[in-house]
Amino acid sequence: MFAKAVAVSLLTLASASVFAAECSVTVDSTDQMSYTSKEFTVDKSCKEFTVKLTHSGNLPKNVMGHNLVISKTADMQAIATEGMSQGLDKDYLKADNAAIIAHTKMIGAPEKETEVKFDTSKLEAGGDYSFFCTFPGHISMMKGKVVVK
């Protein structure tokens, strides 16, 4: 029992040091068509950055699916509009659009989480970037700011 507790705390320490520079963020999404974050920061001192998307709701992907896409704010509406015609089996995303900087897959209950890792060299410090969901209609509520420093 004691040995197990030590192993667990060592693991916790190890993961804490990996994320010391905060090279990751977790954004939750809900059955209320929302993300729980309005903004997150990507620190360019991280070579790679991981965005973890969780879905805390009970509705399936075809009803309340969510993904998380990052692009320049100027490109987001066009990406979402183009995605709408791609259908659920393509996660409502034309994934080869070069304007997409990073994207997760689309998830819904019973799936709980997904993540995407991307190279921070794709982002310019001080640039105007956003994250959003491309499920049809969701971008009106499901969007936020990506601050790059």
Whose Cβ is closer to Cu ion: residue 27's or residue 133's?
133
Q: Shortest gap between Cβ of 25 and Cu ion (angstroms)?
A: 17
Whose Cβ is closer to Cu ion: residue 23's or residue 105's?
105
Is there a contact between 27 and 54 (Cβ–Cβ < 8 Å)?
A: yes
Assign 37 to helix, strand or coil. Answer: coil
| Footprint on this chain of Cu ion (rule: CB under 5 A) | 66, 133, 135, 138, 142
Is there a contact between 116 and 50 (Cβ–Cβ < 8 Å)?
A: yes
Q: Shortest gap between Cβ of 85 and Cu ion (angstroms)?
A: 17
Whose Cβ is closer to Cu ion: residue 25's or residue 66's?
66
Burial of 9 (0-12, 13-18, 19+ CB in 10 A): exposed
Q: Shortest gap between Cβ of 128 and Cu ion (angstroms)?
A: 22
Q: Shortest gap between Cβ of 46 and Cu ion (angstroms)?
A: 26
Assign 125 to helix, strand or coil. Answer: coil
Residues 6+ apart with CB under 8 A from 48: 23, 117, 118, 119, 120
Whose Cβ is closer to Cu ion: residue 118's or residue 136's?
136
Residue nearest to Cu ion (CB): 133
Q: Shortest gap between Cβ of 101 and Cu ion (angstroms)?
A: 18
Is there a contact between 99 and 78 (Cβ–Cβ < 8 Å)?
A: yes
Whose Cβ is closer to Cu ion: residue 103's or residue 138's?
138
